[in-house]
Amino acid sequence: MPLPPAWLDDVRPSPYADQLALGFRLLRFSRPLEQEYRDYLRDDTFELKRIALVVGILVWLAFAGFDFVLISGPEVWWMLAIRLAVLLLLCVFGVLLIQAKHTHLLQPLTLVSLLALGAAASLVVGIAHRVDPSYPYEGLLLVCMAAYFLAGLRLLEALACSLLVLLVYIAVELFVAQLPSTRLINNALFLLFGNLMGAVGCYLLEFKSREHFLISRLMRVLADHDSLTGLHNRRSFNRHFERLWRQAQREKRCLGLLLCDIDHFKAYNDHYGHQAGDNVLHRVGSVLHEAARRPLDMAVRLGGEEFAVLLYDISDQEALQRAEALRLALQNLKIEHAGSKTASVLTMSIGVACIQPDQVDALAKLYEHADRALYEAKAFGRNQVVA
């Protein structure tokens, strides 16, 4: 396996970067990422499934017309009955696609539809060969190609579906049409090699799809997160706050904001150097990340040595307790700070504010109150929490 790109070392820790570095030649991610990719694939191929369904119905109807032209006698009615049954199944699938409901069933329904198409096409070919051995069987290859390229299936799903269709075809030709063995072997080999080419193409498509998924997710992380600390950045914070504020209005919850400032950080940089300062910011980022572990909370680096923690559904007293715990967590790291006028170790000052969801200009007011509290915390000696 070739060495991973060097730039991946600059974006870790990230599950997307780790997976890119490890590779996925077997078309498999780690378990959490694999489920995320399948959800992404389901949503991403939704429109593709609609197009594939329309194309499939049109081709299916066209072949029904050819049956009338190529086959005569009672057999043609059996062939048309089979085609009608599958057409009804495709229409039911189409209704679900139009309604965009039960999306978790799209993948199994796609497999069922393709298997029904393949099995029905095999039966139609077998019935036709009882009357006319020259009836074209190559249409089965279209079903296989649809599984590989049009239906949005993963390689293993497409491969299993296509091979099952091939086995059904061989069984029908043996027991229904009783096709001569030499002719059957020729037809089976043609379909088998067609499947082989489809599988290679499908493998390359899925590999690129997985690679695109990882890179796009990684780019989104980089766009929304601070590269040094791994915390969310200001742009991500503003976007998240808008969503959270609307939710707080609906659910009548309070939002809390902790504005944090590392005490005498410029003096730390001057005394220990900027490399040591970056290391400290990274450790502070880890402390803040632990303070925002609930699903709707968010830890943010606003810039320089300024940080924030946005808390959902929290009272004034609880916000004060969380802020004090955060202040102590940094102090207990006992990071030496010889240039500090406040303490011998690295400390932070925190301003706390909570606000009700029925007020206007929410972000501005919440930030203003927290900023005023932070100013007071710094003015009255630093290394303290003020609300």
Look at phi and psi of residue 100 and say left if phi exceeds 0, alpha if psi is from -120 to 50, else beta.
left
**C-beta of residue 153 within 8 angstroms of C-beta of residue 110:** yes
The answer for residues whose C-beta is within 8 angstroms of residue 230's C-beta and 6 or more apart is 13, 282, 285, 289
User: By the 8 A CB rule, do 386 and 380 touch?
Assistant: yes
206 is catalytic: no
- Return d(Cα 262, Cα 259) in angstroms, integer: 10
In sign, the C-alpha dihedral spanning 324, 330, 336, 338 is negative
Q: Count of alpha carbons within 13 Å of 294, Cβ hemisphere only? A: 9
Contact between 300 and 284 (Cβ < 8 Å): no
| HSE-CB for 114 with a 13 A CA cutoff | 31
Query: What are residue 102's phi and psi, to 5 degrees?
Result: 55, 50
Q: Which of 47, 290, 305, 336 is catalytic?
A: 305
DSSP class of 5 = P
| 8 Å CB contact between 237 and 300 | yes
CB 319 within 8 A of CB 384: no
Whose structure tokens read 């902790």? 258
CA 278 to the chain's CA centroid:
32
The residues carrying an active-site annotation are: 305
